Amino acid sequence: MTQLQTATLGGGCFWCTEAVFQQIRGVLKVESGYSGGSVPNPTYEQICTGRTGHAEVVRLSFDPTIIGYRELLEIFFTIHDPTTLNRQGNDTGTQYRSVIYFHDEQQKTIAREVIKAMALVWDGPIVTELTQAPIFYIAEDYHQNYFRQHPDQGYCSIVVAPKVAKARKLFAGKLAG
């Protein structure tokens, strides 16, 4: 059996990144959670203050024989803005920072390369943080599968749905079932 790999990425509100990566073939599990802060087992209310230092992240379990880490990062960089420090659209605070938490040296090398390539695509400097993956704290149950459960909720239809639509269009050849 293939050895699954893990990727941990923060690209703003995890309802968005979760919904996009759930579309991608080879991504077998997507979990929303918090990483990179100072308080153990933080709650959503705590991380929302922006003062615990956690980023909203998704942890992906993927099959590298179906989708590579580089491809995942390419998707990541088209569904969030890596040039706005601690902000995605109207969501502001350190919890919305752009961050790649690498799990091994190979991921770190690939991430560096992709960040370099993205600098040619985006106008402003890329502010994406690149750090070794810290502890991942899974978010509350009601945050898992959020977009699937609440497609008509205001934020989901205004912010999440367009990102999902964009990813489905751009990565039509990489969609799950």
Q: Which residues are catalytic?
A: 13
Please give the distance of CA 84 from its chain centroid, rounded to a whole number: 15
Stretch of 2-10, 12-20, 74-82, 127-135 lying at the interface with ligand MHO (CB under 6 A)? 12-20
Among 8, 9, 10, 13, binds ligand MHO (CB under 6 A): 13
- Interface with ligand MHO includes 91 (CB under 6 A)? yes
- Which residue, 113 or 140, has its beta carbon nearer to ligand MHO? 140
State the minimum distance, in angstroms, from the CB of residue 148 to ligand MHO. 14
Site string for ligand MHO, 14-33 (x = CB under 6 A): xx------------------
Residue 137, helix vs strand vs coil: strand
User: In the chain, what is the straight-line distance between the N-terminal and C-terminal CA atoms, in Å?
Assistant: 21
Query: What does residue 33 show for φ and ψ, rounded to 5 degrees?
Result: -165, -165
Structure-token pair, residue 141: 């149950």
Structure-token pair, residue 160: 């999440």
- Which residue, 18 or 118, has its beta carbon nearer to ligand MHO? 18
Among 8, 20, 42, 56, binds ligand MHO (CB under 6 A): 56
Strands of the sheet with 129-132, listed across from one edge? 129-132, 98-102, 5-11, 55-62, 27-35, 136-138
Q: What distance separates the 2 farthest-apart alpha carbons in the chain?
A: 43
- Interface with ligand MHO includes 137 (CB under 6 A)? no
- Interface with ligand MHO includes 129 (CB under 6 A)? no
Cα 144 from Cα 153, distance rounded (Å): 15
By CB under 6 A, name the binding residues for ligand MHO: 13-15, 56, 91, 155
